[in-house]
Amino acid sequence: MDPSEVEFLGEKQLVSIVPNFSFGIIHLISGSVGPFRAGLPVKVPIWLAISLKQQQKCRIIAQEWMDIEKLNDSIEAEKRSKLFTKMPSNHFMDEAQMLLMVAPDDIPDADNIRTAVKDIWDLRMSKLRSSVIGFVKNAGTYAKLDHLTAMEINSIRSLLPDALDIMLHMEHGGKPTVLQSLNTTM
């Protein structure tokens, strides 16, 4: 899956905005949003928040976890734990990326938050890489992936399942399989 599609899924998450206009409830197919009162916070999906922000119709309020102290705590917890710790959102990385990109002026301490998010990502990716290597060396065919976020799972999608498929194929004595017969048909 393309990372932009993971982001597309992440854009459904809600974020609070402070609109600078007033309007009643808007009945979207995916649920209703509003009412909008100028100056009062309201929750909307991120895709809508980004669009309103770009039209300068609102201010975005940082997600609760976009707090440098909370993020530093997460970094420490991630370092201490052998397993993956639970992230505040399944779209942690992409949410941070999108909101910091479109509204750096609305989010207090944006630069430090960006760095902290990147640190967490780096920590988890290196953990992920070493656990994938361990998993493949042990010739596993099944693993639990709790607390991995959507973007992290997507980052190993192009490699891990295929590697396991091929190992399985070799284990079974390399009988001609779908893959080979496909090449001859197409």
Partner 1 sequence: METKNSESEYSTEHNENVSHLEESDDEMTAERALQALENAWLNEKFSPELLPHQLELVECMLEQISHMEENLKKLEKGDIRLNIHTMEINRIRFIISSYLRKRLDKIEEYAIYFLSEDANRSSEEAFMTPAETHFAREYVSSVESLFTTLALQHMPRRIKDFELNAMSSKPNLNKHVFIRANKATDGILIPGNMNEQDFKEDSQHIIQYAAIAHLVKNGHVQLI
Strand 14-19's sheet: what is its strand order? 42-45, 14-19, 58-60
- The nearer residue to partner 1, 80 or 144, going by C-beta atoms, is 144
Q: Which of 88, 102, 109, 123 contacts partner 1 by CB under 8 A?
A: 88
- In which residue are the tokens 């988890």 written? 124
Number of residues that bind partner 1 (CB under 8 A): 48
Q: Judged by CB under 8 A, does residue 129 bind partner 1?
A: no
Question: Is 106:63 a contact under the CB 8 Å cutoff?
Answer: no
Q: Judged by CB under 8 A, does residue 133 bind partner 1?
A: no
- Judging by DSSP bridges, how do beta strands 58-60 and 42-45 pair with one another? unpaired
Sign of the C-alpha dihedral, residues 165, 166, 169, 175?
Answer: positive
Q: Judged by CB under 8 A, does residue 134 bind partner 1?
A: no
Q: How far apart are CA 106 and CA 146, in angstroms?
A: 32
Q: Judged by CB under 8 A, does residue 89 bind partner 1?
A: yes
Question: Is 84:124 a contact under the CB 8 Å cutoff?
Answer: yes
Q: How far apart are CA 2 and CA 154, in angstroms?
A: 8
Q: Which of 20, 25, 129, 159 contacts partner 1 by CB under 8 A?
A: 25
CB of 53 to partner 1, least distance (A): 13
What mask of x and - would describe binding to partner 1 in positions 146 to 165, judged by CB under 8 A?
A: xxx-x--x---x--xx--xx
What mask of x and - would describe binding to partner 1 in positions 35 to 74, judged by CB under 8 A?
A: --------x---xx--x---x-x-----xxx---------
Q: Which of 101, 145, 159, 174 contacts partner 1 by CB under 8 A?
A: 145
Beta bridge pairs of residue 32? 27
